[in-house]
Amino acid sequence: MLNQHHQKVSWKKEGLAGLIGYFTTVYIVAVNSQILHSAGLPLESGMIATILASALGCLIMAIYANAPMVLIPGMGVNALFAYSIVEGTGLTFQEGLAVVFVASLIFLITAFTKLGDWLKHAIPDSLKHAITVGLGLFLTLIGLEKGGLVVRGEHSLITLGNPSSAIVITSILTLFIGIFLFTKNVPGNFLVTMIAGTIIAHFTGVLGERGDSLALSEQSWIFMPDFASVTEFGFWMAVFPLAIVLIFENMGLIHGQLDMLDQQSKFKRSYQASAFSALSTGFLGTSPTVSSAESAAVIASGGKSGRAALTMAVLFIGTIFLIPWISMVPSTAIAPILIIVGALMVQNIKEIPLDQLSEAMPAFLIIVMIPFTYSIADGMAFGFIAYPIVKFAIGKQRELTTPVVLIAMVFLIEFIMRSLGH
């Protein structure tokens, strides 16, 4: 039994780690709600959804896994939801939430069965890392667009935005501040960047309007996913990439964080907690939560148990009262964060064996096709289809696993059906 003094010190340390975790991740409320807004959700509803999902995720992690991890809607996963699943396939927002629910259910099944391990070993690392790099480039492109740094060109697909416009100047200034703070490793650098960007936007005249004091009774708190298109092939082609990204992103992030803690024994329950949390997001109105990379900041600050996660859950709930101010944050303050997060995700390219063409070529296709097709699912499809083809071409078919071939075939069938449908 811990003595009272030790317990007091421990709570203090865990609480402080949780506070640092909250300040490094609260930027997600403004960023995620803007991305959900692209999928048709009102901005304030998106903020409430993000806050509730983050608070519940941290609470599940605290109680079920007793681990100091922060669960927030994942960057990259939210882009997949808004731009590929809802906008790209023409599903309604509620049908998109049904996709979230089913993909999270698959994630939950892998967390409680041997299926997770089987998939982990069956899908090549080069393709997993390529998806992360492709997501990074996609987030960067969205950030460049939101900041007005690139626009649709008259004679080209993309061209440079007007460098003299107030929006572009504000975005560039905020980006420089963000890069400076990030490279200096300033605690809560994204939050500070967002605040600085909002102040600059005030002086350059591109600031958003402050929201009215929030009428909480008028907001949607619980959403019902719409399963109307569950019998359609397109629905399952949306579920598929989301499930794959959820499974591998959480596997990698949690494994890395527990390595820092030296507590790999907590992997199973932390992974299961992430799956339960993701499942709840289908009813809260947001894209799934993942174990955030910022959990590293919590652990580095001395967080060792669920107490840090519990602290973050309480602080996220308190964020509801800040919504009128958060709604003032302009896209010029959000764009630099997307660009920096994109840069961090692209670092995974060093994990891909670029000297082995049979691994590098399919990975390359995923990396370039995700941003160029503006669809994470289509980008993944190109790489997964190419993988068996390249392996057969050089006589390395023995390296192929059944899941990879099956996934490639499903993507190929989807492309064929789509071409026949047009």
pLDDT digits (tens, 9 = 90+) for 249-297: 898 889 888 888 888 889 999 999 999 999 999 999 999 999 988 888 8
Cα angle 212, 218, 219 (rounded to 5 degrees) comes to 85
Partners of 289 in beta bridges: 73
- 389's tokens: 């083809």
Residue 419: which pLDDT band, with cuts at 50, 70 and 90?
confident
Please compute Rg for the chain using Cα positions: 21
Greater confidence, 225 or 122? 225
Report the candidate in 372, 287, 376 with the shortest Cα–Cα distance to residue 81: 287
Greater confidence, 8 or 27? 27
Residue 3: which pLDDT band, with cuts at 50, 70 and 90?
very low
First to last CA, the chain: 68
pLDDT reading at 378 higher than 70: yes
pLDDT digits (tens, 9 = 90+) for 337-352: 999 999 999 999 999 9
- Mean pLDDT value of segment 344-368: 95
Mean pLDDT, the chain, integer: 90
pLDDT digits (tens, 9 = 90+) for 181-237: 999 988 889 999 999 999 999 999 988 666 555 555 556 678 899 999 999 988 999
323, 219 Cβ separation under 8 angstroms:
no
- Mean pLDDT value of segment 169-191: 94
Share of the chain above pLDDT 90, in %: 68
Residue located via tokens 């907690």: 273
368/387 Cα distance (integer angstroms): 15
Q: What is the dihedral of CA 125, 127, 133, 137, to 10 degrees?
A: 180
95, 228 Cβ separation under 8 angstroms:
yes
pLDDT reading at 178 higher than 80: yes
Give the pLDDT confidence score for residue 325 in this predicted structure: 87
Instruction: Give the amino acid at 360.
Output: A
Give the pLDDT confidence score for residue 215 in this predicted structure: 56
Flag the least confident range among 5-9, 14-18, 19-23, 262-266. 5-9
Distances (CA, A) of 398 to 117, 230, 309, 386: 20, 36, 45, 16
Share of the chain above pLDDT 70, in %: 94
- Mean pLDDT value of segment 385-398: 94
Give the pLDDT confidence score for residue 288 in this predicted structure: 97
Q: Which run of H or E residues covers position 131?
A: helix 125-146
Residue 367: which pLDDT band, with cuts at 50, 70 and 90?
very high
pLDDT digits (tens, 9 = 90+) for 77-94: 999 999 999 988 889 999
